[in-house]
Amino acid sequence: MELSLSRLSRGACGETLSNAHPFVLRTGDNQTLTEDNRAWSQLITQLTPAVTPAVMAPVTTSGPRGFDVSFETNVTGITSQAQYWERGTRGHGPDAYQTCDGRNTSVSPVLTSNRLHFAKALPLGFTIGATVGRVYNTGLWLVGGDIKLALIEGLRRWPMPDVAVRAAVNTTVGSAQYTLTSVAADLILSKNIVTARVMQLSPYAGAGMVFSFASSQLVDLTPNVDAVNCAAGKDPVCNSQGLGASPDDIGHDRPFKDLSLKRYRGFAGLQMRYELFTLAAEFIFDLVPPPDADKSAGKGTPRQWTFNVAPGLTF
């Protein structure tokens, strides 16, 4: 499921492959292949929930001396039958070429990640946290941080929930082709319920906004051709097909457009605490389809969901 951006091109794909007759890199002022920015936008839109910070905790904390650690498992649904996933991810087997004709014939319907999250409570209702994680079946690692402020906490005589605001950011490392950063700003409502005097149940819910920022490096849309050797007349692909020494393949090293996307999410969850042990589970979903929140998301990109579960310890 690693992104393979060299496949995301538009143009006469067959004219740039090793068996093309004739082999063409440029027609007039136009390169044979150009980057497919629509597919790039759709891929990043669907990848974002797998990178975005989860909530995984109610408003209340264990106090200024408290420290929490949890191990999150996050599962995000994607549109596995979409062509942009088939074209834009590496896959395996005989169709997993890096060129524009390559396909992933076994796209996973979900993206799964594990994250280790640390949180430290501070005075005045603040909590700070840090995250490190890995998105499986990709080369992506996640690093991030968060800060939460409890605006209303621990009112027992009034029938109102605890209220907090939270900001969190995760960014990807591990891919030489692109970077993706996801920032979430959420409003959280929760209520503590003590059962049998030994267990604390804390249902919580809320909504927020997610901003994602993605950029790519120069991507070689014709990885089967060495642009330097092609210009020198020594490349076994472009020069063996009747094309003389040509610098035209250099124009196939292109960046995809920078993306700044916005979406709206809702979430609901439950945390159970028994002595030092906690277990939290939550469901996150798009409040509106991504293209309705931001036209840059790509027409037809559907809503997504994420399910998170996290056992942890509270000291």
- Average pLDDT, rounded, for the chain: 92
Q: What pLDDT was estimated at residue 256? A: 96
pLDDT tens digits along 138-147:
999 999 999 9
Q: How confident is the model at residue 185 (pLDDT cuts 50, 70, 90)?
A: very high
pLDDT tens digits along 249-268:
999 999 999 999 999 999 99
CATH code of 36-217+255-294, in short, is 2.40.128
Q: How confident is the model at residue 1 (pLDDT cuts 50, 70, 90)?
A: very high
Q: How confident is the model at residue 243 (pLDDT cuts 50, 70, 90)?
A: confident
Q: What pLDDT was estimated at residue 218? A: 94
Q: How confident is the model at residue 148 (pLDDT cuts 50, 70, 90)?
A: very high
Q: What pLDDT was estimated at residue 210? A: 97
Once rounded to an integer, what is the mean pLDDT over residues 227-244?
86
pLDDT tens digits along 62-111:
777 889 999 999 999 999 999 999 999 999 988 888 999 999 999 999 99
DSSP string, the chain: --B-GGG-EEE-GGGGSTT-SS--SEETTEESEEE-HHHHHHHHHHHHHHHSPP--S-S--S-TT-EEEEEEEEEEE--TTSHHHHHHB---STT--SSTT---SS--SEEEEEEEEEEEE-GGGEEEEEEEEEETTSS-EEEEEEEEEEEE----SSS--EEEEEEEEEEEES-SSEEEEEEEEEEEEE--EEETTTEEEEEEEEEEEEEEEEEE--EES-TTS-HHHHHHT--TTTGGGT--S--GGGGGEEPPPPEEEEEEEEEEEEEEEETTEEEEEEEEEESS-HHHH-GGG-TTPPP-EEEEEEEEEE-
Instruction: Report the share of the chain in percent with pLDDT over 70.
Output: 99
246 has pLDDT over 90: no
Domain spans, the chain: 36-217+255-294
pTM above the 0.75 mark?
yes
154 has pLDDT over 80: no
Could you tell me which residue, 229 or 20, shows the higher pLDDT? 229
pLDDT tens digits along 157-179:
777 899 999 999 999 999 989 99
pLDDT tens digits along 262-304:
999 999 999 999 989 999 999 999 999 999 999 888 788 899 9
241 has pLDDT over 80: no
Q: What pLDDT was estimated at residue 120? A: 94
Q: What pLDDT was estimated at residue 178? A: 94
239 has pLDDT over 90: no
